[in-house]
Structure 1
Amino acid sequence: MSTPTEDVKPRIRRTHIALYVKNPFEAVGWYKDVLGMIETARGERWVFLSFGTKHHDIALIQADPTMEGAQARGEINLQHYGLEIDGTMDDLRRLYGMLLRKNVPIVKITDHKVGYGLYFTDPDGHRFEFFLETIHDDEEGRRVLGEHNAPSDPFDLQPL
């Protein structure tokens, strides 16, 4: 007997994101320089970028030039795209220093109780987060997030 379709749940292997930008061919430089990505494919109105393992992790797509601001992205929009880093607090501090040296706008630095987040924006205003996880047990992470109401407390991170 087969399982009802409403019981089927996706098993996500990985994710990627596609972002509208003013000019993907100009924006691609920022993604290479700041996020260390490589260009893997290019079309008439788009560029695919990878962190080096898969064919693409981020796609930059030309936005309709006749639309601006909230009209182009809508009133409700992506809050941020989190990028969990592999490393230590010093690695997060080094990334913070790199962002500052490259004049990347910093949005906020937070203690989420399960890790630390460093939020910044790309040239088109998309918000990204470098995230350093400190609680690696998922059950404990769920407990801590619930106990602290999914916090985003300010955190003083000293750049290296």
Structure 2
Amino acid sequence: MSILRIDHVHIYVKNIAEAEAWYKDVLGFIRGESLHFWFTQGGPLVLKNNEAALSLFEKKYRSPGHTVAFSIKPSYFSELMKLLSLRLIPFTVSDHQISMSVYFKDIDGNKIEMTSYEYLEAKENIQSYSATLC
């Protein structure tokens, strides 16, 4: 598996507006405008500072904790799901309509997300793997 980079980190906050202001004032993060539509549709507020990205979620909508999201090539999804299955690691697949993600936990229960914004290719790869299970 070749991970491209850490894609983003989930941060659970009490108040999105206050958290956005804090991350801007203290660390220089600004809104990721290309994904702002997602926030208006109920998704996270994505903040960026160069290549670093945070996804802010209000606690009332998500359980507390953090998730590290790694960006992968869409072709790696079937390899990842096969590996997780062989090692008996439960996982879930989420279709975010703009990206595809596979979620699972590490040995200590930390949440991991593997994601790709190459949506159509990723979705096809996931569906191909799922079809082999039937």
Higher relative contact order (CA 8 A, sep 6+): 2
Higher strand share: 2
Scaled by the length of structure 2, the TM-score of the pair is 0.43
Give 1 or 2 for the bigger CA radius of gyration: 1
Higher helix share: 2
